Structure 1
Amino acid sequence: MLVVRPAAPADLDHLLELAILSGPGFTSLPEDPDQLVERLDLSRDSFTAAIPPRERWYTLMLEETDTGDIDGIGSVKAAVGLKRPFFSFRQMSNTAQSPSLDIKLEHQTLVLVNECSGWTEVGSLFLKADRRKGGAGRLLSQSRYMLIGAEPDMFAENVLAELRGVFTPDGACPFWDHVAHKFFPMPFDQADMMTGSTDKQFILDLAPRHPIYIDLLPEPARAVIGKVHPQGVPAMALLESEGFRTNGLIDIFDAGPTVSCSRDNIRTVRDARNLTVALADEVEAELPSLISTDSIGGFRAVRQKVGLAGDVATLSAETADALKVRAGDTVRVKA
């Protein structure tokens, strides 16, 4: 059985493996053991409520219960842009016209902004290649919304996700090479690392202070603005199925899109119900449902068959064991 559960400091080797497999541009998974140790410690402190709610960053691992193998990762950051700015480029339309010549032009520009301060971010969604079929990705993705729905007041009213921009098969990033690198004269990996490990002052110091006219950019850069890395297309589809939509913001380094949705309108948050657990040797159900615990502490989630009758959710003993719940406990179910 696949179960989504909180990351722990003992997951360092697994997390480093996933970071290496994720490749360039996956800012939240740096190939840096020291940063990953800090992230796992932060996740532990978040799930145990050892730090203030707005500082919490919950990291979730997808585990095979039979083998203990870790196949994927997802996360929820309670609030972004508070201690460090959350920079983006906003695509804007600027009108220029000459009535005497009867000419009207619409110029598309990119402007540096910091608009999402205090928003919750869902991210870090990554699975090993052999796990990207059969519903594992949907389980891991939706588990983040089950976590938010368990205690919604711990999260912001607006939720965003950033998707990785386009990279060529040889690892080059067209937007970085033709645009961002002109302002940040360093390797992409260094800028990417500094984004996650510094206060981002270097961005404020070096980023363009005036609009960038998209029509003046080389075609390879224009072509990838707001486009998703091929590996991110399934993640984009999952986000859209939950109600997320593009909002005109893109990443300042790789031009990947940002999508957003109000917390209470995320489909899984909205539709999941709190039910009381009952146990049975056999569970009658045509299709499996998404099931999670009803609180952040000790959060766990699975996709298994559940019998639904009124306010009761009937689980098998195996499912209850995976969730670490007993008869009479409360679970959240998204049928």
Structure 2
Amino acid sequence: MLVVRPAGSADFEALMELAVLSGRGFTSLPEDEPTLRSRLALSEASFQAGVAPPEAWYTLMLEDLETGTVEGVAGVKAGVGLKRPFFSFRVVTLAQSSPTLEMRFDHKALVLVNECAGWSEVGSLFLRPEKRKGGAGRLLAQSRYMLIGIEPQRFAEMVLAELRGWFDEDGRCPFWEHVSHKFFRLDFDQADLMSASTDGQFILDLAPRHPIYTELLPEEARDVIGRVHRDGEAARAMLEREGFRYQGLVDLFDAGPTVACPRDDIRTVRDARRLRVKVGEDAYGEEALISTGEVSRFRAVRAPVLIDGETAILGRDAMDALGVGEGEVVRVKA
């Protein structure tokens, strides 16, 4: 059985392995030991309410209980842009007209903005390639919303997700090469690591202050603005099923799109029910998403459940995986 659980310091080796597998442009999983160890420590403190709620960053691991192997990772950041700006490019339309010529021209442009300060973020979703079928990705993705739904007040009223932008088969990022590199003058990997592991001051220092007219860009750079990486299409589809929508914002480095949704409108947050658990000796009912009812003891699984009024009847294996006993509260999303 697969279970989603809080990350701990003992997960460092597994997290580093996933970071290596994630490849270029996966900013939230840098191949940097101090950054990853710091993230695990922050996650442990967050689950135990050891940091102020807006500063919490919860890291979740997908574990195969039979093998003990960590198969994936995901995260929820309670607040972005609080201690460092959360910059994006907004894709805007600038209208210009000439009464003399009786003509109007609409120009697309990229404008540097810091619009999402204080929003929560779901991200860092990555699975081993061989585990991307069979519902593992869905379990890992939805577990983030189950976590938010336990105590919504820990999170902002708006929740965003950044999707990785387009890279070609050779690992080139057209937007970086033709646009962002002109301002930052670094290798992509170096800028990406600095973005994840520093306070981001270099972005504040070097990012463009004036609109960039997209018509002046090479076609291959224009074409990837707002385009999702081939490995991110499934993640985008899952986000859209939850209610997330494109916001007209793209990443500064790779032009990947930002999607967002009001916290209380996220489907899993909205529809999950709080029920008392009861053990059943056999598998019961239809398979559903089930989580614990406390942040500090968070775990989530997909398992058969029979809902009887305000009671969720679970098999023993599911209850053991969740670490709950009869009469405790669980949250269930059918």
Q: Same fold (TM over 0.5)?
A: yes
The separation in 2 between residues aligned to 1:37 and 1:75, in whole angstroms, is 15
Q: CA RMSD in A?
A: 0.6
The separation in 1 between residues aligned to 2:169 and 2:41, in whole angstroms, is 34
Cα offset, 1:298, TM superposition: 1.4
Contact 2:280 2:313 in 1 (8 A): yes
Q: Which runs of 4+ in 1 moved over 6 A?
A: none
The separation in 1 between residues aligned to 2:188 and 2:161, in whole angstroms, is 21
In structure 1, the partner of 2:276 is 276
Cα offset, 1:101, TM superposition: 0.9
Q: Which amino acid aligns with 1:155?
A: F
Bigger drift between 235-244 and 191-200 goes to 191-200
In structure 2, the partner of 1:121 is 121
Contact 2:178 2:221 in 1 (8 A): yes
Bigger drift between 198-207 and 271-280 goes to 198-207
The separation in 2 between residues aligned to 1:59 and 1:203, in whole angstroms, is 25
Is 1:148 matched with 2:148? yes
Q: Which amino acid aligns with 1:177?
A: E
SS of 2:283's partner is: coil
Q: Which amino acid aligns with 1:11?
A: D
The aligned runs of 1:70-85 (5 Å cut-off) are 70-85=70-85
Cα offset, 1:275, TM superposition: 0.2
Quick one: percent identity of the two aligned structures? 62
SS of 1:31's partner is: coil
Q: Which amino acid aligns with 1:195?
A: S
Is 1:291 matched with 2:290? yes
In structure 1, the partner of 2:234 is 234
1:28-72 CA deviation, whole Å, 9 max, x = no partner? 000011111111011111111111111100000000001100100
In structure 2, the partner of 1:43 is 43
The separation in 2 between residues aligned to 1:133 and 1:196, in whole angstroms, is 29
The separation in 2 between residues aligned to 1:209 and 1:244, in whole angstroms, is 29
Q: Which amino acid aligns with 1:20?
A: V
In structure 1, the partner of 2:90 is 90
SS of 2:268's partner is: helix
Bigger drift between 37-46 and 199-208 goes to 199-208
The aligned runs of 1:1-335 (5 Å cut-off) are 1-285=1-285, 287-335=286-334
Give 5+ residue unaligned stretches, structure 1.
none
The separation in 1 between residues aligned to 2:72 and 2:63, in whole angstroms, is 8
The separation in 2 between residues aligned to 1:313 and 1:283, in whole angstroms, is 12
Cα offset, 1:207, TM superposition: 1.0
1:183-224 CA deviation, whole Å, 9 max, x = no partner? 000101111111112221111111111100001100010010
SS of 1:240's partner is: helix
Aligned pairs, number: 334
Cα offset, 1:297, TM superposition: 0.4
SS of 1:305's partner is: strand
Q: Which amino acid aligns with 2:81?
A: G
Query: With structure 1 as the length reference, what TM-score do the two structures score?
Result: 0.99
Contact 2:244 2:260 in 1 (8 A): yes
The separation in 2 between residues aligned to 1:66 and 1:128, in whole angstroms, is 17
Q: Which amino acid aligns with 1:210?
A: H
Q: Which amino acid aligns with 1:100?
A: T
The separation in 2 between residues aligned to 1:47 and 1:272, in whole angstroms, is 20
Contact 2:284 2:315 in 1 (8 A): no
1:270-294 CA deviation, whole Å, 9 max, x = no partner? 0000000000101331x31000001
The separation in 1 between residues aligned to 2:103 and 2:293, in whole angstroms, is 60
The separation in 1 between residues aligned to 2:310 and 2:86, in whole angstroms, is 42
Cα offset, 1:88, TM superposition: 0.2
The separation in 1 between residues aligned to 2:32 and 2:91, in whole angstroms, is 32
The separation in 1 between residues aligned to 2:241 and 2:99, in whole angstroms, is 45
